[in-house]
Amino acid sequence: MKSLDAKLADIRTNPGSSRSFIIADAKDADMAFGVRAPGHRRYLSARGARPAQFSPEIWTRDEFGQRNLPEFLDIIREVVDQGLVDIVLMSAHVNEQLTIREGLFRDSPITPAARANDATDVWAARHGNYLSHAAQPFRSASIDHIQCGKLDCDREGSEFPGANLGLYSVTYLNDLEQDKRTLEAFHAFREEAERKRFRYFLEVFDPNVDSGISPEKLGEFINDQILRTLAGITEAGRPDFLKIVYHGPRLMEEICQYDSNLVIGVLGGSAGTTYDAFRLLHDAKKHGARVALFGRKINNAEHQLAFIEFLRLIAEGTIGPEEAVYAYHGVLQGKGITPNLSLEHDLELTEQSMRYSDTGGSPSVAIRNNPLAKRKPEPASVVWPTKPGGEPDFASMSADHRLAYHTARLRQ
């Protein structure tokens, strides 16, 4: 069984006591950014650089700076081999390369998924103006191409060679005609998905243009719109889980307590600081979320595998977000990697954009600077308790002990 299915079953069977938490790595940025999607070449997989052709009189390979698609695919292979996330979300094209042709997920506990629509609020082409316009529904990928890599998928068996899970995104604008068109497109997708036995999870963006709703009330509007929309959908057509903007503890608890069968997740937003990512996961889980989907926060990390491991440790309650930032910087230091930000700056909570564009418009949630940023413990000097055989005694560990243990382990 895939870890996603096991965790969803556990969450729904034991809604009050389940400790399961789902982490998704969004590697679908080529549906939005184009050349910039694979991210900067500061981080490459263990396989290293892949061949790329450049005219030396124009620029050098290092000067170009961006990973190419083969280097991007190598990183996804490493993430799948690591096995700590539950979902890897890809474009239909990358899904075809890795899931259908390569069979990367065939013997993995990780579930492959593909972005099933690309509304105009993810069209983040350089110098384009699409992101400044109200989001309009659009789909490049078809369900058949995601499942089988071709039109008219063979549906005789119960399994498909490609992904059978998709992300469908809607953006509520508080505009009658625009929201009606968005929900009509969602209705058509749901009917097709049910007929083709295609699973999906629903991403809900905040308005990408002025909605006329004040920021402090926007979360209430989004919660009501989500529940109103889902009220018209029976179990056969409902999403496996939701992916929404984190509007703070009150509004997260408000929607999570409404229906124990509704699994709520949070989206990561723009890259920000390491503490932004770690604290978001910690706080969202504390107030009821059971899923976190990070895209740019993972893809822009100095060391993606270490970053993912700390996300998992936080999700399991093994380490706190502040401790994790210190430990993550310790790992970078041990590997000789220069961090993007100093430790002090990486411990700040910053204003996060929940849109695909990192510039323009106010973020949905403004967060004050983290007052803990000035605290500078030295976890490496702490000796953690052990059992008589020398194994770490987790039951007796304090937070400082856990930090020291995981820092030392990840440095090895």
Please check the confidence at residue 84 and state whether its pLDDT lies above 70: yes
Please check the confidence at residue 369 and state whether its pLDDT lies above 70: no
39: its two tokens: 């991210």
Query: DSSP character for 38?
Result: T
Residue 58 pLDDT: 80
Residue 352 pLDDT: 59
Residue 383 pLDDT: 80
Identify the band that residue 89 occupies on the pLDDT scale cut at 50, 70 and 90: very high
Q: What is the mean pLDDT of residues 43-68?
A: 82
Q: What is the mean pLDDT of residues 52-75?
A: 83
Please check the confidence at residue 279 and state whether its pLDDT lies above 50: yes
Q: What is the mean pLDDT of residues 12-28?
A: 95
Q: What is the mean pLDDT of residues 119-137?
A: 95
Average pLDDT, the chain: 89
Q: What is the mean pLDDT of residues 167-192?
A: 98
In the chain, what are the domain boundaries?
3-318
Residue 350 pLDDT: 85
- Distance, in Å, from the CA atom of 107 to the CA atom of 254, rounded to the nearest integer, reads 38
Residue 390 pLDDT: 78
Residue 132 one-letter amino acid: S
Evaluate whether 264 touches 291 at the Cβ level (below 8 Å).
yes
Please check the confidence at residue 97 and state whether its pLDDT lies above 80: yes
Q: What is the mean pLDDT of residues 234-259?
A: 96
Evaluate whether 339 touches 302 at the Cβ level (below 8 Å).
yes
Q: What is the mean pLDDT of residues 245-272?
A: 92
pLDDT in tens, 189-214: 999 999 999 999 999 999 999 999 99
- Name the more confident of 359 and 292: 292
Strand-strand pairing, 291-294 and 87-90: unpaired
Please check the confidence at residue 359 and state whether its pLDDT lies above 60: no
Please name the fold of domain 3-318: TIM Barrel (3.20.20)
Residue 72 pLDDT: 97
Residue 90 pLDDT: 98
Identify the band that residue 401 occupies on the pLDDT scale cut at 50, 70 and 90: confident
Residue 151 pLDDT: 93
**Buried b vs exposed e over 349-374: b needs ≥16 C-beta within 10 Å?**
bbbbbbbbbeeebebbbebeebeebe
Please check the confidence at residue 64 and state whether its pLDDT lies above 80: no
Provide long-range contacts, Cβ within 8 A and 24+ apart, for 377-385.
Answer: 377/326, 377/403, 379/323, 379/326, 379/327, 379/330, 379/403, 379/404, 379/407, 380/330, 380/404, 380/407, 380/408
- Distance, in Å, from the CA atom of 23 to the CA atom of 315, rounded to the nearest integer, reads 8
Identify the band that residue 53 occupies on the pLDDT scale cut at 50, 70 and 90: confident
Residue 379 pLDDT: 46
- Distance, in Å, from the CA atom of 232 to the CA atom of 221, rounded to the nearest integer, reads 18
Residue 164 pLDDT: 97
Question: What is the rounded (10 degree) CA torsion for 286, 168, 206, 129?
Answer: 140
Please check the confidence at residue 355 and state whether its pLDDT lies above 80: no
Please check the confidence at residue 362 and state whether its pLDDT lies above 50: no
Residues 6+ apart with CB under 8 A from 194: 236, 237
Highest mean pLDDT among 232-246, 378-392, 397-411: 232-246
Please check the confidence at residue 356 and state whether its pLDDT lies above 60: no
Q: What is the mean pLDDT of residues 227-252?
A: 96
